[in-house]
Chain A
Amino acid sequence: QVQLQESGPGQVKPSETLSLTCSVSGYSISGGYYWGWIRQPPGEGLEWIASVYHSGATFYNPSLKSRVTISVDTTKNQFSLKLTSVTAADTAMYYCARQMAISDPWGLGTLVIVSS
């Protein structure tokens, strides 16, 4: 079955860049659908960040667009997220997910803490 797994540093310093990768298995990213990142601050709700198609087409949450880049590497069957100039407000569980209108499946998530 389709599985997604997030990877990246668990801690990032304020003002630096957060970089995460989502590895997909059981399905080729080139097969279609959008692939996205969603985050959840501790004890709070879900926030969509960005989505990418295998062609490289991208969509961003307007509230984060100036700081976010999402990209795809079909050769590695991965997609990635970069978030610049992070602050404590960016501390969250970051999930990657396949987006078929609904988001399914999801990775288990990776907790990123912004702290010096």
Chain B
Amino acid sequence: AIQLTQSPSSLSASVGDSVTITCRASQDITTSLAWYQQTPGKPPKVLIYDASIVNGGVPSRFSGSGSGTDFTLTISGLQPEDFATYYCQQFHTYPSITFGQGTRLDIK
């Protein structure tokens, strides 16, 4: 099974900062990767799919890149509502999918 490893597991940042979260796959998944944002008490929400395509309604400060085994999610100019937990998910083996372990983004 394909494993996804996110780093860091947690990070602290301030409003206005830019942050980058990394997701590494255990084998080549081309661009079959999505990023989700989850706030407490709510289900995850799709931010990015196909590694770099921003989902409709998602602010342009969110961007994704990568292919193969290494991927990044960048948030440029953090807003208060961005402090949440972020997950990557591979769908190279759709409908069998796997998630990264998550990255918690806290306010510094």
Binding site for B on A (CB under 8 A): 34, 36, 45-48, 51, 53, 59, 61-62, 95, 97, 99, 101-104, 106-109
Contacts and interface: CB of A to CB of B under 8 A. Distances in A.
A61 B96 contact: yes
Contacts of B99: 45-48
Contact of A107 (B34, B36, B43, B95): B43
Interface of B: 1, 32, 34, 36, 42-44, 46, 49, 55, 87, 89, 91, 94-102
Label chain B's interface by main secondary structure: loop
For the complex of A and B, the 9 pairs showing the least CB-CB separation, nearest first, are A106-B43, A101-B91, A51-B95, A34-B95, A46-B99, A45-B102, A102-B34, A102-B49, A45-B101
B96 A48 contact: yes
A45 to B, nearest CB: 5
